[in-house]
Chains A and B, each alone.
Chain A
Amino acid sequence: MSEFLAGFQDTMAYVVTLMPSLMAGAWVTAKLFVWTLVLSLPLGLPFALGSNSKFWPIKAICQIYVFIFRGTPLILQLYFFYFFLPIAYGIRLDPFVTSVITFVLNYAAYFAEIYRGGINGIDRGQYEAAHALGLSKSQTMFGIVFPQTMRVILPPVSNEAIVLIKDTALASIITVGELMKASRGAVNRDVDTTAYIIAAIIYLGFTFVMTLLSNHLERKYSRYDSREVD
């Protein structure tokens, strides 16, 4: 029993020595996550609207963009931006910035498709009623259409956000010092997998917070009964 206790104390002491580097990594992960969401959530909207455009060049550009970023591995996109800019233009961006740019472009493509589905689900009659009341195009979109898409797009958007928490780990391959890289460093150095377990717990913590937040938003936007039955 006391042997077990001593072992436990040793482990805890080791965990304490790991914490500073893991918390620093978790902080970078959190920043990657927040920056990506803050930028890609709005960026998806013009691509969603563009994919619905009647002007074919805009429609084509938006559809090709979505096709490329959803159709290739994120890890390839990371490598591409990490090596492409220095090789082609001699520009060396900070790896963190490169990761944010890549994640934003990738996630905006997914969000664009989710938004587009939500927007296309809105009945024509809603646009007609708005027009008949004299509402402008932007008043119609922001006041009538987008709020109604919320309840439809929130579940897939929060799902993507949870996937993003885990995708941030990919940034480690282009040397970003986030949680994955920090834990891998400790494991390789000490030949001890404890750091991975702590990292897993931290990732789960992020996911848990994200799940709570999305449940809260989904409840908020489901107050009304959306099915307008004739």
Chain B
Amino acid sequence: MSQIEKALTAPHVIEYTYKRSLGPVLSQFFTALRERRVVGVRRKDGTVLCPPKEYDPDTGESLGDMVPLKDTGVVTSWAWVAKPRPQQPLQKPFAYALIRLDGADTPLLHAVDAGSESRMKTSMRVRARWADTTTGAIRDIACFEPVD
């Protein structure tokens, strides 16, 4: 059979409109974000998890002792995104980074708007840039930016 000129193509979108019930601990985290604050949760040994968890990852104990944190921190790891995709947090080259906020012992995944890859460095200091309007979601922090 003869080959056809060109295979047909069509856009194909799959979308799942999930809603997640937050529970008491994450509810406090997202409510704080809406107020442009960050909170973590304290474990029995005194260390602080941010993002907070409902249960201690080592012991399984219930957690709920919320701790206010600063919106500054340190990059512990990062990856440069040279060509952002439409759903990503910034529409210009940026870094995804693990950021340990001041007062926390675990890192939070977020975007860093550093302008260029050469400015990114593990151990660099960053500060949250808050969104103009907040809704109680992780994007209430628009991104982080380097602190000189």
Q: Do A and B come from one complex?
A: no
A residues touching B (Cβ–Cβ < 8 Å)? none
